[in-house]
Amino acid sequence: MHLVTVATQLDQWSLDFEGNCKRILKSIAIAKSRGATLRVGPELEIPGYGCLDHFLEGDTILHSWEVLATILQSEEAQDIVCDIGMPIEHKNNNYNCRVIIHSGKIVMIRPKMWMANDGNYRELRHFTPWHKHRQTEQHSLPRIIRNVTGQDYVPFGDAVVSTEDTVIGVELCEELFTPASPHILMGLDGVEIFTNSSASHHELRKLNRRIDLIKEATMKLGGIYLYANQQGCDGDRLYYDGASLIAMNGQILARGSQFSLSDVEVITATVDLGAVRAHRTTSSRRMQSAQSEAYQRVYVDTRLDGGQGIRVGDDETKGTTEVKYHTPEEEIALGPACWLWDYLRRSRQAGYFIPLSGGIDSCATTVIIHSMCRLVADAASKGDEQVIADARRIAGEPEDSSYLPTDPKEFAGRIFYTCYMGTEHSSPETRKRAKDLSEAVGGYHVDLNMDTAVSAVKGIFSLVTGKRPQFGVHGGSSAENLALQNIQARLRMVLAYMFAQLLPWARGKTGGLLVLGSANVDESLRGYYTKYDCSSADVNPIGGISKTDLKKFIAWAEVNFDLPILKSFLDAIPTAELIPIGADNVAQSDEVEMGMTYDELSVYGRLRKVEKCGPYSMFGKLVQEWGTFLSPTEIAQKVKHFFFNYAINRHKMTTLTPSVHMESYSPDDNRFDLRPFLLPSRFNHQFRKIDELAEKLPNRATQPGNDKAKVD
């Protein structure tokens, strides 16, 4: 049994070279203290993965070399093989690289071969893939490194590292997900330990895919797989969810946390290289291995077992571990909460501010803040020095303070501010729900009426034009009705920013607050919100989550967070409360106004983005799914209604508040969902084809025996 492996997950921050260096060195020190002789870190860990176009700047590469020089000279990096990530320029091309070092020397540089270039990723914009498979070239090292290592050139390319007792192969993030992953050919050529450095973002219900691929790879090939992933918010919309792991022969030996406030987490495992070799004795594997092409081996004069041979391993790292997955509700509670903590502490603001409407969306955002405060309290109770120091600074405590944020409600009272902005159309029920929710989580709550501000703006318009707009229930046109709703929403945004800047001052504190938005992914997709309204904010924790998932999350939090007030939010009808109640005494309903349910919106969203459906193909799929309880013409009308509203509101995505990426059908225009914002909303050709097909198809919804389907 050899304690030879380690994987790390770091909470890196793009362009924070000093902080990133400290975290890397700390991870190496922890690894060595546990007896490990191989340390693997996350992708591009020196500059941070999310530098984006900063990767095109020579400064980013220069500073990465400077940090690597510091690591090479450090005491921590002696007598241990380290796999470290940074960008490198080779022959005037930028490459996403792993630098293998050992005791003050660079062993080799392995550039990434297959790039992540869809969804949230644009690696081909910043890096060149290495397509010379099983080939290396000599890379000329910069003077700053030559002065440290005494080396002028090192191998650069697709090779493997050979120690006295085993062979190590590098696989980078996306390469695991490709159909012909490098680990297959490396394993056939005798590589026994695979390292994978990753910056894989969190998405609801996604983690199992990663783990299944790694288990399958090592089950079929045999071998030890070290997966190191970044964790936290590194400066953009993604939350990297850690879950670093060590697998051997299809079994998970150790796994890091998926959601944590820790800056550095290291996992180790006791592994038996003999078990890998025994796993590879099958006849078919031997035949394929004998025919495989050889990789160039770069030799390191060391043994990963430290020359100790068989020894007793640490009890905590023996055997396999059961993989436990969080439920989607737990993921919503934890992922955005961790991202919000990173954003708050790194922006150096005094806390968060949210306009509470009494509805379920702002309620969900508030509960996520409550979850963040619970995580802070838990980490502080366990003595996490970094969390305690950050919490003291945010709460306005001096550095030598003895304050410990171990009570989530008490901590929320220092850093979380809520406000109910009522008008003449607001109901007592929503006002009370907002107040009760803020009290339940410990927030500092303000209640106000803003009718004076609304009347003033309407008065200015009337003074200039001589006309006074009316709501629809009073005989006004749709243009008047919409404008009168929008001015209320936009004034709430103005008031939100004013209160966010001045409320800490009013309480005798310093600093400003970050304004939180509360528009869910379905409303963004449909465009059911006002541009530059109270959903416009600094950040939006729920902007990547569907209404359906949010309701399930609130039901979960009611029990697991012991917040009985949440039941009243689940029972309430979603309403914006922006228009007077009409003669029928029925309040404004979101789903009635949208002309579609939130459940339907989730279906449209997944078909549009994930399954890449235009109007015509979406209609075809929905006929198969909904045809037993809706006629083809009814389905056609729903599809056309969705695409019309999607098109006329697509421009709103250009101003969407940055939100944590959580859902695979996010309409975020910034990077994830690149589509025009001016679309032909009538879709004349597409809609005509839908209508023609709908007329030809039989109406299964009216056939006998389908009554139950109709009810469902």
591 is an active site residue: no
Q: Cα separation of 503 and 506, whole Å?
A: 5
Which residues have C-beta within 8 Å of that of residue 684, sequence separation ≥ 6? none
SS3 state of residue 171 = strand
Using only C-alpha atoms, what is the Rg of the chain? 28
User: Quick one: tokens of 465?
Assistant: 């034009």
Q: Cα separation of 253 and 275, whole Å?
A: 13
419 is an active site residue: no
Could you tell me if 701 and 629 are in contact, meaning their C-beta atoms sit under 8 angstroms apart?
Answer: yes
Q: At what angle do helices 385-394 and 408-415 cross, to 10 degrees?
A: 40
DSSP β-bridge partners for residue 659: 540
Could you tell me if 332 and 553 are in contact, meaning their C-beta atoms sit under 8 angstroms apart?
Answer: yes
Q: Cα separation of 225 and 206, whole Å?
A: 19
How does DSSP classify residue 608? I
Q: Which of 51, 173, 233, 613 is catalytic?
A: 173
Q: Tell me the DSSP string of 473-533.
A: GGT--HHHHHHHHHHHHHHHHHHHHHHHHHHHHHTT--S--EEBP---HHHHHHT-S-TTS
- Within its chain, how far is the Cα of 643 from the centroid? 27
Q: Which of 21, 27, 43, 175 is catalytic?
A: 43
Residue 98: phi, psi to the nearest 5?
A: -110, 130
Q: Find the Cα–Cα–Cα–Cα dihedral 198, 202, 208, 211, rounded to 10°.
A: 10
Burial class (CB in 10 A: 0-12, 13-18, 19+), 418: buried
What is the maximum span of the chain, computed from C-alpha positions, in angstroms?
A: 92
Could you tell me if 523 and 550 are in contact, meaning their C-beta atoms sit under 8 angstroms apart?
Answer: no
Label residues 150-163 b or e (16+ Cβ within 10 Å = b): eeeebbbbbbbbbb
How many Cα atoms are found within 13 Å in the side-chain-facing hemisphere of 409? 9
Q: What residue type is assigned to position 643 of the chain? A: F
357 is an active site residue: yes
Q: Cα separation of 476 and 470, whole Å?
A: 5
Which residues have C-beta within 8 Å of that of residue 238, sequence separation ≥ 6? 50, 120, 201, 202, 660, 661
181 is an active site residue: no
Q: Which of 21, 64, 112, 265 is catalytic?
A: 112
Q: Tell me the DSSP string of 172-238.
A: ETHHHHSTT-HHHHHHHTT--EEEEEE-PBP-TT-HHHHHHHHHHHHHHH--EEEEEE-EE--SSS-
Label residues 344-374 b or e (16+ Cβ within 10 Å = b): bbbeebbbbbbbbbbbbbbbbbbbbbbbbbb
SS3 state of residue 251 = strand
* DSSP tally for the chain: helices H, then strands E: 25, 21
How does DSSP classify residue 606? I
**What residue ranges in 275-321 does DSSP mark as E strands?**
297-299
Q: Which of 14, 162, 198, 357 is catalytic?
A: 357
List residues with catalytic annotation.
43, 112, 173, 357
